[in-house]
Amino acid sequence: MTLMTADAYIDSLRQMKKRVFMFGDEIEDPTDHPMIQPSVNAVCMTYELSHHTDHEALLTVESSLTGEKINRFTHLHQGTDDLVQKVKMLRLLGQCTGCCFQRCVGMDSFNALDIVTTKMDQALGTEYNVRFREYLKHVQAEDLVVDGCMTDPKGNRGLPPAEQSDPDLFVRIIDENNEGITIRGAKVHQTGAINSHEILVMPTRSLKEADEDYAVACAIPADDEGILYVYGRQASDTRKLEGGNIDVGNIRFGGHEAVVIFNDVFVPWEHVFMSGEYPYAGELVETFAAYHRSSYGGCKVGVGDVLIGATKLIAKYHGVENASHIKDKLVEMIHLNETLYACGLACSTEGARTSSGTYLVDMTLANICKLNVTRFPYQIASIAQDIAGGLMVTMPSEKDFSHPEVGPLLKKYLVGAEPYPTEWRQRILRLIENLTLGLGAVGYLTESMHGAGSPMAQRIMLSRLADLEHKEKLAAAIAGINDH
């Protein structure tokens, strides 16, 4: 098998025995749990579109490792065209799901690991890249979902791993033998972890010699008995348990994050891709981050398209769509959204080949892309809330609209412009609520701020990458300052 179907994906998850905790209880069947089902549905879309005649060309590609047709989410980018196609694929999926579809952290990790393990092998004579590519062939052949697992709990942010009061606040190697390594620690904010097949652990920051044990990258089956998952709750998440489909806003899709705890997990050497090589930890983080910062120029734009559409609809339902200030605000939303897309495309077309053969995005432009992502979705959301009006946050529940006494009254008094039914108004207001301050805001807003690194991380990269001396020389030459 190289292209899994959505149904086969769901079956494969049901066969996994993961230990998942939610609201203080261990849950039996996470795949079919109503809290998690929307995120399974969102990942399903990455499989459905790979079999769809209109989208197959974007979602599938020939493997550089095996020549087989594979899902693009498991691909190593072989040219700038691959990087561009990735951004287009993510925009499409954002448009189809209106949420985070979770599979890109794994994809971006594959490409980063391919580049950095190659450099390690070239400099150190190790064989990490050979191992990694064998592992990736397996991922491609089985079309697996892999959680790119980078962010540690970090404790005191001012201290490196080895100086923390608890040595487990960053994932570390606690034992090593001829067979493999044993790791302990936890990772936080793990997107899609509960509906992943594999966990791909990587370091979260640059490391020094004292932190050697923390320089670890490895792959683990997601149902390893030593792994515990604790579901991360989201604003208004229990609406998913209420039985209706209006108040959730997005009726089918959603994302999730989880705390992943590694209770002394053994990893055989064939799945270990870094073990103590601390000088390469920082480069792995930066390379992954550059890919993921460019990915946001696709997925957030697709979700932005949904929010712009919702805003246009609510203006129509309110009878104000032709007002000049509404038209102008919609144009502003489009401008902000397409600027993000332009950044995603620009860092992709300016990408370059690395020594592994895998193409890397332009680092400066990828960081610009993410820095804009930390701001523009918030501005787009602000305009959406302006045009939506206050009912978005004061509207009674779906059940009240069905109540025999107050239901008809609510439908009468909360109607908008004719001929649009009150229920359409309800649905679109709930969608805008979802994306700007509810379940969807986790992915559309807070993840835009912190995902792939908080804004300061991009500013630090930009200050390092921008050749300011070159700019000084340009100015000096133009102004006639000699011997600068």
Ligand X SMILES: Cc1cc2nc3c(=O)[nH]c(=O)nc-3n(C[C@H](O)[C@H](O)[C@H](O)COP(=O)(O)OP(=O)(O)OC[C@H]3O[C@@H](n4cnc5c(N)ncnc54)[C@H](O)[C@@H]3O)c2cc1C
> What is the dihedral angle through the alpha carbons of 417, 421, 427, 430, rounded to the nearest 10 degrees?
40
State yes or no: residue 101 binds ligand SF4 (CB under 6 A).
Answer: yes
Cα 391 from Cα 389, distance rounded (Å): 6
Cβ atoms of 222 and 199 closer than 8 Å: yes
Query: Known catalytic residue: 218?
Result: no
Number of helices (H) and strands (E), helices first, in the chain?
18, 14
Token couple for 261: 């705890």
Known catalytic membership, residue 433: no
Burial of 480 (0-12, 13-18, 19+ CB in 10 A): exposed
Partner from ligand X, ligand SF4, none binding residue 295, C-beta < 5-8 Å depending on class? ligand SF4
**DSSP-derived 3-state class of residue 146:** strand
Active-site residue, from 212, 277, 286, 447: 447
The contacts of residue 215 (CB under 8 Å, 6+ apart) are: 203, 207, 274, 275, 276, 277, 278, 280, 281
Cβ proximity of 45 and 253 under 8 Å: yes
Contact predicate 24/51, CB 8 Å: no
Of these partners, ligand SF4, ligand X, none, which one is at the site of residue 411 (CB under 5 to 8 Å by kind)?
Answer: none
The smaller minimum CB distance to ligand X, of residues 41 and 64, is found at 41
- Residue 451 binds to ligand SF4 (criterion: CB under 6 A): yes
104 as an active site residue: the answer is yes
Candidate list 98, 232, 416, 443; residue touching ligand SF4; CB under 6 A: 443
Asked if 111 is part of the footprint of ligand X (rule: CB under 6 A), the reply reads: no
Only one of the segments 3-11, 383-391, 420-428, 446-454 lies at the binding site for ligand X (rule: CB under 6 A); that segment is: 446-454
Determine if 453 is a binding residue for ligand X (CB under 6 A): yes
451 binds ligand X (CB under 6 A): yes
Position 294 contacts ligand X (CB under 6 A): no
Does 306 engage in binding with ligand SF4 (CB under 6 A)?
A: no
Q: Is 44 a catalytic residue?
A: no
Q: With CB under 6 A as the rule, give the number of residues binding ligand X.
A: 21
Which 187-216 positions form the footprint of ligand SF4 (CB under 6 A)?
191
The span from the CA of 199 to the CA of 371, in Å, is 28
CB 120 within 8 A of CB 126: yes
In the residue annotation, 212 being an active-site residue is answered as no
Nearer to ligand SF4 by Cβ, of 89 and 181: the residue is 89
Check: CB of residue 358 under 8 Å from CB of residue 114. yes
Q: Which residues in 132-171 belong to E strands, given as ranges?
A: 146-149
Q: Is 450 in the site for ligand X (CB under 6 A)?
A: yes
DSSP, res 49: G
Q: Does the annotation count 343 as an active-site position?
A: no
447 tagged catalytic: yes
Instruction: Return the one option of ligand SF4, ligand X, none that residue 104 interacts with (CB less than 5 to 8 A, by type).
Output: ligand SF4
- Of the pair 105, 248, the CB lying nearest ligand SF4 is at 105
Among 104, 343, 347, 369, which one carries the catalytic annotation? 104
Residue span 131-160 as binding mask against ligand X, x where in contact by CB under 6 A, dash where not: -----------------xxxx--x--xx--
295 binds ligand X (CB under 6 A): no
Supply the DSSP symbol for 193.
G
Question: Catalytic residues, which ones?
Answer: 100, 104, 191, 257, 292, 296, 299, 447
Which positions touch ligand X (CB under 6 A)? 105, 148-151, 154, 157-158, 189-191, 257, 442, 446-447, 450-454, 456
